Amino acid sequence: MTSHGFLRAAAATPELVVADPAANARHTIALLAEAEARGVSLVVFPEMGLTGYTCGDLFHTRTLPRAADEALAEVLAFTESGFRGVAVVGLPVVLDGQLFNCAAVLNGGSVLGVVPKAYLPNYKEFYDARYYSPAANAVSKYAAVAGRHAPFGTDLLFVCENVPDFVLGVEVCEDLWVPVPPSCHLALAGATVLANLSASNEAIGKAGYRKQLIGCQSGRCLAAYIYAAAGVGESTTDLVFGGQNVIAENGAVLAEAPRFRRDGSLTVADLDLDHLRHDRVQTNTFNDSRRDHARLVRRVSFALDPAPRTPDLRRFVDAAPFVPKDPATLHERCDEIFHTQVAGLAKRLTASDTQAVSIGVSGGLDSTLALLVACKTFDALGRPRGGIRALTMPGFGTTGRTLANARALMAALGVGVREADIRGLCLEQMRALGHAPFGLPLAGETVETLGEKLRHLPADRRNDLVFENVQARVRTSLLMNAGFVVGTGDLSELALGWCTYNADHMSMYNPNVSVPKTLVKFLVGWAADHEFDGATRGTLHDVVGTEISPELLPVAADGTATQPTEATVGPYELVDFFLYHLLRWGAEPAKVLFLARHARFSRPYTAAEVKAWLVVFLRRFFASQFKRSCLPDGPKVGSVSLSPRGDWRMPSDAAARAWLAAAESA
């Protein structure tokens, strides 16, 4: 699995007997054995996990630290063959005549290093400073633990030699709560995975705060953060500990343990180290901050033997990454995007002192969304909707359903309405070009006679790019001549080049430019339910249910569309899946295919189907960059945008060979 940049990690809360290191070592080893069976490469245990955090003044005896050291030796011996990953366990360590609250990092029968707690809480219910010394008080750089001589300090990074981008940094509990946690410095020094051994008690509202804090720290550090918490086995003399294990990555929580479990438990998630590397390389300010906050570190190398390769994936792969699954989140997302679109268009209209706009309304999803945005923009500016000149322009491929929806929508919204049958104009243009559409001579043909012949064309003769482009450009010409044009094309179409250059590709401002197709459908449905009512709502829901088609090829004899877009460019759920992973994360084609196998799409796809559509996507994406190099303005609304002035700057003549070869060989 590491060939795709994944690393399986776990936060562990074993059963605990307070002040009984031998018993706690057995419980720790039991969870390590389970972790080995589950293919885990990194396990983080709670603060003072070998003794219990709540031993109080027993820490000042000679017996407890000595017993903890012996327990560590037992755990260490198990890592020689019983657990082949990295284990991080908590225990008290005596050094320089002081007692330190420490995390020991173990691998392959070796103690890679010992990290002391930097910040000791001594307020409210916490009295760490009564028992321990802070890390800054240490004199020695090495400590004797479990019969080994190991590096000691908060300046340690643990670097895996055979798993790219796996660099581990460790801090202990309160270290996360201070204004500048040690993990910030460790991340700037190169740590991609941060471990926190914690004993944080339960109190009303504290669990939510902890979770938020962990997620924010992982996002700030562009890192994975594994937080292992002490559980209910701790003393309940004054406090209760719930075992709230959390694994977060780059601001998102991947896994969280239910609190108050009485048995030992592992919380497991697969970390995507590729994601972290991608964002660190791309985010120059992350690396720039090293100038002000860089600290010297000691790098301790180790290797996972053998390197983990797990065929399954313990991580949710969203088949629709642009569309939230939670209804409340989807509502919030749609509301935010829609009003971002409105704000963008409103600013452009006021800045250019534009009083009226023109927009082509086909009865399809994209033009419907743009029309709704235009209506709400005019409402926000206090202007009558009559200033929106809505043109529906039926052609040779227009179906009765989309035309009816376009008419109904314009009437219900109260915009300026004009209908222009473009077939005659297209016929004139093709005659001027000397073009015989589908091999049919135009001499003596009228719109009606040509239309009848086109309806009965056999399926193998329904391909004519000039015929399609003439219609698209005639429509755009009419719109441009009417004034300020509001664009309608979406992000997915731009990625595919599924637009006619200088036709539907062009406008004065496009509010849809960074909205992916899979989200357009939900935006229109959301607007129907939350922004509009009456006749408009019913029409909008019918638009949502209409098959996606540019309707540029002739309709069939029964008047239905013969040009389903997804039959040519691929299912849009796959298109947007490819778009998200290739652009947002810079994923390699092989990884995209791997992730697709773990996603639950609206219908099953064979591996061959997904691969074939990925090749189509890559070919079209590279071939159509020239269209994106001169895009009209429009607002960015999400994490992926193709604006040549912002998120995506790519040469129009770049070769796709390397990407296609990678996809074909995957």
DSSP assignment string, 397-429: T--HHHHHHHHHHHHHHT-EEEE---HHHHHHH
Q: Is the pLDDT of residue 284 over 70?
A: yes
Same domain, 352 and 288: no
Q: What would the mean pLDDT of 406-411 be, rounded to a whole number?
A: 96
Q: Is the pLDDT of residue 110 over 90?
A: yes
219 is in an annotated binding site: no
Same domain, 265 and 342: no
- In the residue annotation, 124 being an active-site residue is answered as no
Q: Specify the range with the lowest mean pLDDT, choosing from 125-139, 280-294, 572-586.
A: 280-294
Query: What pLDDT score does 311 carry?
Result: 66
488 is in an annotated binding site: yes
141 is in an annotated binding site: no
Q: What would the mean pLDDT of 114-120 be, rounded to a whole number?
A: 99
Query: What pLDDT score does 111 carry?
Result: 99
pLDDT bucket at 457, cuts 50 / 70 / 90: confident
Same domain, 499 and 377: yes
Query: What pLDDT score does 534 carry?
Result: 85
Q: Which residues of 414-453 are buried (b: 16+ CB within 10 A; e: fewer)?
A: ebbbeebebbebbbebbeeeeeebbebebeebeeeebbee
183 is in an annotated binding site: no
Q: Is the pLDDT of residue 550 over 80?
A: no
Q: For residue 180, which amino acid is it?
A: V
φ, ψ of residue 546 in degrees (nearest 5) = -85, 135
Range of the domain at 253: 2-302
Domain count, the chain: 2
Residue tagged active-site, from 15, 36, 55, 117: 117
Neighbours of 106 (CB within 10 A): 29
Q: Is the pLDDT of residue 1 over 80?
A: no
pLDDT bucket at 308, cuts 50 / 70 / 90: low
Mean pLDDT over the full length of the chain: 95
As a whole number of angstroms, the distance between CA 491 and CA 637 comes to 11
CATH of the domain at 149: 3.60.110.10
Same domain, 49 and 139: yes
The H-assigned helical ranges of 269-418 are 273-282, 284-288, 290-293, 327-351, 365-380, 400-413
Residue 652 lies in a domain: no
Residue tagged active-site, from 34, 47, 249, 588: 47
**What is the C-alpha radius of gyration for the chain, rounded to an integer number of angstroms?**
31
Cα dihedral 169→191→201→35 (10° resolution): -70
Domain boundary among the residues 539, 564, 589 is at 564
- In the residue annotation, 551 being an active-site residue is answered as no
206 is in an annotated binding site: yes
Residue 269 lies in a domain: yes
pLDDT bucket at 587, cuts 50 / 70 / 90: very high
pLDDT bucket at 607, cuts 50 / 70 / 90: very high
Residue 627 lies in a domain: no
Q: What would the mean pLDDT of 117-124 be, rounded to a whole number?
A: 97
Residue tagged active-site, from 173, 184, 375, 426: 173
Q: What would the mean pLDDT of 82-95 be, rounded to a whole number?
A: 98
Query: What pLDDT score does 138 carry?
Result: 98
Same domain, 71 and 113: yes
CATH of the domain at 458: 3.40.50.620
Contacts of 375 (CB under 8 A, 6+ apart): 385, 388, 413, 415
Same domain, 267 and 356: no
Is residue 189 within 8 A of residue 293, CB to CB? The reply is no
Query: What pLDDT score does 462 carry?
Result: 83
Residue 130 lies in a domain: yes
200 is in an annotated binding site: yes
Structure token digits, residue 174: 């309160």
- In the residue annotation, 216 being an active-site residue is answered as no
469 is in an annotated binding site: yes
Query: What pLDDT score does 293 carry?
Result: 87
Residue 401 lies in a domain: yes
Query: What pLDDT score does 489 carry?
Result: 96
Same domain, 54 and 176: yes
The model's pLDDT over 459-498, given as tens digits with 9 standing for 90+, comes to: 788 888 999 999 999 999 999 999 999 999 999 999 999 9
Same domain, 279 and 357: no
367 is in an annotated binding site: yes
Domain boundary among the residues 529, 564, 599 is at 564
Q: Is the pLDDT of residue 306 over 80?
A: no
As a whole number of angstroms, the distance between CA 11 and CA 89 comes to 11
Query: What pLDDT score does 555 carry?
Result: 73
517 is in an annotated binding site: no
Q: What would the mean pLDDT of 60-69 be, rounded to a whole number?
A: 98
pLDDT bucket at 309, cuts 50 / 70 / 90: low
Q: Is the pLDDT of residue 61 over 90?
A: yes
Same domain, 282 and 190: yes
Residue 177 lies in a domain: yes
Same domain, 279 and 417: no
Residue 553 lies in a domain: yes
Q: Is the pLDDT of residue 636 over 70?
A: yes
Share of the chain above pLDDT 70, in %: 98
591 is in an annotated binding site: no
363 is in an annotated binding site: yes
Residue 604 lies in a domain: no
Domain boundary among the residues 564, 579, 611 is at 564
365 is in an annotated binding site: yes
Same domain, 353 and 286: no
Same domain, 377 and 270: no
| pTM flag (> 0.85) | yes
498 is in an annotated binding site: yes
Q: Is the pLDDT of residue 2 over 60?
A: no
Q: Is 288 helix (H, G, I), strand (E, B) or coil?
A: helix
With 0-12 / 13-18 / 19 or more C-beta atoms within 10 angstroms meaning exposed / middle / buried, residue 343 is middle
Query: What pLDDT score does 597 carry?
Result: 95
489 is in an annotated binding site: no
Query: What pLDDT score does 294 carry?
Result: 80
627 is in an annotated binding site: yes
The model's pLDDT over 415-438, given as tens digits with 9 standing for 90+, comes to: 999 999 999 999 999 999 999 999
Q: What would the mean pLDDT of 171-178 be, rounded to a whole number?
A: 98
